[in-house]
Amino acid sequence: MYKIPISVLVVIHTPDMQILLLERADHPGYWQSVTGSRNPGETLVQTAVREVAEETGLDATCYPLADCNIQNEYEIYEEWRWRYAPEVTRNTEHVFALLLPEPIPVSVAAREHLNFVWLPWREAAEKVFSSSNAEAIRKLAADRCGGKG
C-alpha cells in the first residue's frame, strides 16, 4: 500500500523552548522532529498522536498538542518516492507543536531512529536537515504556535 502524500511534523518542546530531535536510522546525521504520513481514515490530530507514540513512546494525549495552522508543500526526496504512488511527487505537511513540562528521555523506534537529543531552539533549528522543520522551530519560538502551544 502506498503512503498518502499528507503528513505531520510535530515539534516537541518545553516551556523554555528546548526542542526534541531524533536522528534518522536510514541517514545517520540527519536530525528531525517527529514526522509521519497520515493513514487512511485518520484525522491529522490522530496522525500526530500516533507518530509521537511510534517514534518516541510518548502519549501525546497527556500533553497540550496544538495545530500550528502551517502547511508546507514540498517535493518528495527521490530516494523516498518509491513509498508513494508512481505519479505522486509532492507532499503536504501539517505542523503541530507538543508541549512537555521539561526535557524527558524518550524511547526511539529503532527501525526509524538511532538517537534523540534535547537542544535549545536555535541549535535545534540549525541541526535539522529539513528547511520546513527549521522554519517550524523558529516560528514556534517566535509566537508559540499562535499562542496555542
Residues 106/58, Cβ–Cβ less than 8 Å: yes
Going by C-alpha positions, the residue among 146, 42, 44 that lies closest to residue 93 is: 44
**Burial of 138 (C-beta count, 10 Å sphere; 0-12/13-18/19+):** middle
Q: Is CATH 3.90.79.10 correct for 6-147?
A: yes
Grid coordinates representing 103 are 526535557
pLDDT at 149 over 50: no
Single pTM value for the model: 0.93
The pLDDT, as a whole number, for residue 124 is 98
The mean pLDDT value for 83-103 works out to 96
Grid coordinates representing 73 are 508543500
pLDDT at 136 over 90: yes
Instruction: Return mean pLDDT, the chain.
Output: 93
The pLDDT, as a whole number, for residue 144 is 61
pLDDT at 148 over 50: no
pLDDT at 120 over 60: yes
Of the pLDDT bands very low, low, confident and very high (cuts 50, 70, 90), residue 52 is very high
Handedness of CA 141, 9, 55, 98 (dihedral sign): positive
Q: What is the pLDDT of residues 16-49, one digit of tens each?
A: 999 999 999 988 999 999 999 999 999 999 999 9
Helix (H, G, I), strand (E, B) or coil at 22: strand
Distance CA 6, CA 47 (A): 10
Distance CA 65, CA 148 (A): 8
Q: Per-domain residue ranges for the chain?
A: 6-147
Q: What is the pLDDT of residues 70-83, one digit of tens each?
A: 999 999 988 889 99
pLDDT > 70 fraction of the chain, expressed in percent and rounded = 96
Residues 55/112, Cβ–Cβ less than 8 Å: yes
